[in-house]
Structure 1
Amino acid sequence: MNKIAVVGAGISGLSIANYLEKHQLDYHIYERRKKDDLTGHGFLLPKEGIDYLSQIIEPSVLFKHGNFLKKYIRYSHNGKILAQKDLNDVFVISRSALIHILAHNIPAEKISYEETVMPCPIQKGKLRKQDGTYIDSDVTIVSDGSKSRIRREIFQEETMKTVQENEIVNIIKCKDIAASLEDNFMKYHHEDGGLTFGILKLSEDTVLWYCQFDNKKYKISETSSVESLKSHMFEIFKDWDPMVSSIVKGSNYENVHLWRVYELEKLNPFYKDNTVFIGDAAHPLIPFTSQGVTSALKDSFVLTQYLASEKNSSDAFRKYEAERKPEIEIHIRNGRILLDQFLKPLDQQTENILPISYK
Structure 2
Amino acid sequence: MKKIAVVGAGISGLSMANYLEKHQIDYHIYERRKKEDLAGHGFLIPKEGMDYLYQIIDSDLLHRHGSFLKKYTQYSHTGKILAEKELDNVFAITRHSLIDLLAQNISPEKIIYEETVIPDDQQNGKLKLSDGTYIDADIAVISDGSRSRIRKHFFKDESMKVVQESEVVNIIQNKEIADSIEHDFMKFHHEEGGLTFGILKLSDDTILWYSQFDNKKYTINECSAENLRKYMLEVFENWHPLVPEIIQKSKYKNVHLWNVYELENLNPFYHENFVFIGDAAHPLIPFTSQGVTSALKDSFSLTKYLVEEDNIQAAFSKYESERKPEIEVHISNGRILLNQFLLPLNQQTENIIPISYK
**Identity of matched residues, %:** 70
Q: Does 1:268 align with 2:267?
A: yes
- Taking the TM superposition and a 5 Å limit, the aligned residue runs for 1:220-259 are 220-222=220-222, 224-259=223-258
Q: CA deviation at 1:226?
A: 1.4
Q: Determine the structure 1 residue equivalent to 2:119.
A: 119
Q: Determine the structure 2 residue equivalent to 1:193.
A: 193
Contact 2:38–2:254 (Cα < 8 Å) also in 1 = no
What amino acid is the match of 1:66?
G
After superposition, the C-alpha distances for 1:79-104 in whole angstroms (9 at most, x for unaligned) are 00000000010000000000000000
Contact 2:163–2:261 (Cα < 8 Å) also in 1 = yes
After superposition, the C-alpha distances for 1:97-154 in whole angstroms (9 at most, x for unaligned) are 0000000000111111111101011111100111011101010000010011111111
Q: CA deviation at 1:38?
A: 3.0
- Taking the TM superposition and a 5 Å limit, the aligned residue runs for 1:303-318 are 303-318=302-317
What amino acid is the match of 1:310?
E
Q: Determine the structure 2 residue equivalent to 1:288.
A: 287
Q: Determine the structure 2 residue equivalent to 1:301.
A: 300
Aligned-partner SS, 2:167: strand
Partners of 1:139 and 1:258 in 2: how far apart?
34
Q: Does 1:71 align with 2:62?
A: no
What amino acid is the match of 1:36?
E
Partners of 1:38 and 1:155 in 2: how far apart?
31
Partners of 1:225 and 1:170 in 2: how far apart?
14
After superposition, the C-alpha distances for 1:205-262 in whole angstroms (9 at most, x for unaligned) are 110000000000000112x121211111010001000111100111111111000000
Q: Determine the structure 2 residue equivalent to 1:108.
A: 108
Give the structure-2-normalised TM-score. Answer: 0.99
Partners of 1:37 and 1:280 in 2: how far apart?
18
Contact 2:9–2:30 (Cα < 8 Å) also in 1 = yes
Partners of 1:38 and 1:308 in 2: how far apart?
34
Aligned-partner SS, 2:313: helix
After superposition, the C-alpha distances for 1:155-196 in whole angstroms (9 at most, x for unaligned) are 111000000000000000101011111010000000000000
Contact 2:45–2:92 (Cα < 8 Å) also in 1 = yes
Q: Which segments of structure 1 move beyond 3 Å, counting only runs of 4 or more? A: none
Q: CA deviation at 1:339?
A: 0.2
Q: CA deviation at 1:40?
A: 2.3
Partners of 1:300 and 1:38 in 2: how far apart?
24
Q: Determine the structure 1 residue equivalent to 2:181.
A: 181
Q: CA deviation at 1:269?
A: 0.2
Aligned-partner SS, 2:112: strand
Partners of 2:331 and 2:295 in 1: how far apart?
14
Partners of 1:121 and 1:273 in 2: how far apart?
13
Q: Determine the structure 1 residue equivalent to 2:210.
A: 210
- Taking the TM superposition and a 5 Å limit, the aligned residue runs for 1:43-122 are 43-122=43-122
Q: CA deviation at 1:37?
A: 1.8
- Unaligned stretches of 5+ in structure 2? none
Aligned-partner SS, 2:261: strand
What amino acid is the match of 1:267?
L
Partners of 2:30 and 2:289 in 1: how far apart?
27
Count of residues in Structure 1 that have an aligned counterpart in Structure 2: 358
- Unaligned stretches of 5+ in structure 1? none
Contact 2:269–2:320 (Cα < 8 Å) also in 1 = yes
What amino acid is the match of 1:8?
G
CA RMSD of aligned residues (A): 0.6
Aligned-partner SS, 1:163: strand
What amino acid is the match of 1:232?
Y
What amino acid is the match of 1:296?
A
Q: Determine the structure 2 residue equivalent to 1:322.
A: 321
Partners of 1:182 and 1:226 in 2: how far apart?
28
Contact 2:68–2:89 (Cα < 8 Å) also in 1 = yes
Partners of 1:199 and 1:189 in 2: how far apart?
12
Q: Determine the structure 1 residue equivalent to 2:163.
A: 163
What amino acid is the match of 1:185?
F
Contact 2:3–2:139 (Cα < 8 Å) also in 1 = yes
Aligned-partner SS, 1:283: coil
Aligned-partner SS, 1:341: helix
What amino acid is the match of 1:85?
K
Give the structure-1-normalised TM-score. Answer: 0.99
